[in-house]
């Protein structure tokens, strides 16, 4: 094995680690900023209603969330299928189409949840 070939999978894991670390960091930062805002309001003597605190901690969910996620997942599956088609590599077509089935199935589930889900 060529020593330079080690960098290919290693760079994938490093990239995944960086993305996950940034996601965790930004979630932490958002929660910290929310606590600072609540603390500042309390120090100023402003009353915080339970409804306001509930909306700050758990913001309302958009009714279009499932539709957006479903469309993004289906488009990702279509992109993978097109990549498999235009790659023109016989051995890679089947596995790439199989991989494309995962986001397609997830997207179909989100679209079904949007269509038949409870509208509150």
Which among 27, 28, 22, 107 has a CA at the least distance from the CA of 71? 107
Residue 73: exposure state from Cβ atoms within 10 A (0-12, 13-18, ≥19): buried
**pLDDT tens for each residue of 26-37:** 999 998 998 888
Please give the pLDDT value at position 35: 86
C-alpha angle 76-27-33 in degrees, rounded to nearest 5: 140
Q: Give the domain ranges of the chain.
A: 1-59, 61-120
Judge contact between 102 and 76, C-beta under 8 A.
no
**pLDDT tens for each residue of 12-29:** 899 999 999 999 999 999
Residue 120 has pLDDT above 60, yes or no: no
Judge contact between 38 and 75, C-beta under 8 A.
no
């Amino acid at each position: 094995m060529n020593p330079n070939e080690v960098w290919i999978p290693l760079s994938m894991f490093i990239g995944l680690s960086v993305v996950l670390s940034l996601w965790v960091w930004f979630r932490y930062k958002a929660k910290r900023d929310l606590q600072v805002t609540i603390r500042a309001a309390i120090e100023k003597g402003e009353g915080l209603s339970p409804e306001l605190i509930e909306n700050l901690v758990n913001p309302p969910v958009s009714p279009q969330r499932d539709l957006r996620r479903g469309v993004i997942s289906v488009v990702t599956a279509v992109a993978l299928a097109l990549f498999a088609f235009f790659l023109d590599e016989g051995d890679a077509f089947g596995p790439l189409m199989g991989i494309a089935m995962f986001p397609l199935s997830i997207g179909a589930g989100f679209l079904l949840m949007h269509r038949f889900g409870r509208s509150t």
